[in-house]
Amino acid sequence: MGKVKHLLGISGGKDSAALAIYLNDKHPELDLTYYFCDTGKELDETYQLIENIEIYLGKKIAKLEPADAVKSDENPFDHYYKAYRGYLPSSVARWCTKKMKLEPFERFVGDDPVVSYVGIRGDEDREGYISKKQNIQSIFPFRRNIWSEDVIRKVLSNTNREHLMDLYSSYLSGSELDSVSELVSEKLILELKNPLQNKKVIHNKLNSILDKGIAQFNRVTFDYLKDTEYPLAQESDFPLLENEEVLVKKDIFRTLEESGVGVPEYYHEVEYEVDGEKGTYARSRSGCFFCFFQQKIEWVWLHEQHPKRFKEAMEYENEKEGFTWNQNESLKEIIDPKRVEQIKRDHLNKLKANSNNKDSNKLMDILDDGDAGCTACFV
């Protein structure tokens, strides 16, 4: 097995961009390789962001494309669109993510041991894509818990309680050790067919232990991994073990702005008017400009702010076959003037309903994370 590689994927979104800046500034000792999976259907602002990050890092970002598309000399999305005979990707058939994001990444990695850094924030409750390949391990630097769910399940499993207490005894003693041991020894009560409840039970135990010391838990987990097949088992140390920072959305925007890399233009709010009232809209995510995870107001935004791109998205639809980006509604129907007004009116009402949220004064907080989406594309 070769030397452990440390990889960070740049999606074109705010979070992965901020993570690249954050790790470059806070942990320059990490020898990171950066990559970008290009679908060929990104907005121009995405490619500008990639260029800005390269300038900031002083490093090139590897551009990954599907091998099949490269051989055919076609745009990646168009290649697979033909291969799937005009069947558009959807939330239940994400061939776009599989073929243009995950497979190129796993091909790039090969069989080398890899630590993959993921920009899921501390104010998000999701895990994202975790590779099933044994040689890829995901780390989440923005979160209180930097470890993936699969690692946490093993560390906190009922059969590992005694071993975990032994590991803690290397760092704690006396009343501090007793306090943590009481939490560690508590048995997890899991239900056979209730994964959501089980996740909550594990999450609660994890948070109780983290309350006693994040860095200590990281050290203990790192020691546990030494007897496993995870890539970090090969490392003698890991810089993020002492990291206790938790970054949320406002930190992401601040990082991008203060670094000079800047926030992609599609995140900037644009004013619109409906029924004499004014609201604002923007794009909530990176990825293909015709992504099926977009909300209706984002399709209206695309139509009004990038009409050529919207027209291009329309050309992929086949209403006769029922192949449309949105269930039960084509883009042609969405841009009917009366429908546009209704979408804006509904969105404006949503803005009003959220106006009393003291933690949210940005449109991004209303649009963003409304759907978990594909972490490989949006983070």
Domain 5-148+230-259 falls in which CATH fold? Rossmann fold (3.40.50)
Point out which residues pair with 323 in neighbouring strands: 318
pLDDT at 360: 46
- Give the list of residues 6+ apart from residue 85 with CB closer than 8 angstroms, or none: none
pLDDT at 344: 97
Q: Residue 89 corresponds to which tokens in the numbers above?
A: 């990707």
pLDDT at 374: 54
Which amino acid appears at position 253 of this protein?
A: F
Q: Residue 51 corresponds to which tokens in the numbers above?
A: 């260029």
Q: Average pLDDT per run of 10 along the chain, which is 379 residues long?
A: 90 94 97 95 94 97 93 92 94 91 92 95 79 88 96 97 97 96 96 93 97 97 97 96 95 97 94 94 91 95 97 95 92 97 96 70 45 51
pLDDT at 365: 47
* Range(s) of the chain covered by CATH 3.40.50.620: 5-148+230-259
pLDDT at 91: 87
Q: Are 119 and 142 in contact (CB under 8 A)?
A: yes
- Listed in sequence order, the DSSP H helices in the chain are 14-26, 44-57, 67-72, 76-83, 95-97, 103-109, 149-155, 161-168, 174-184, 195-210, 214-225, 249-259, 296-305, 307-315, 331-334, 337-353, 363-367, 375-378
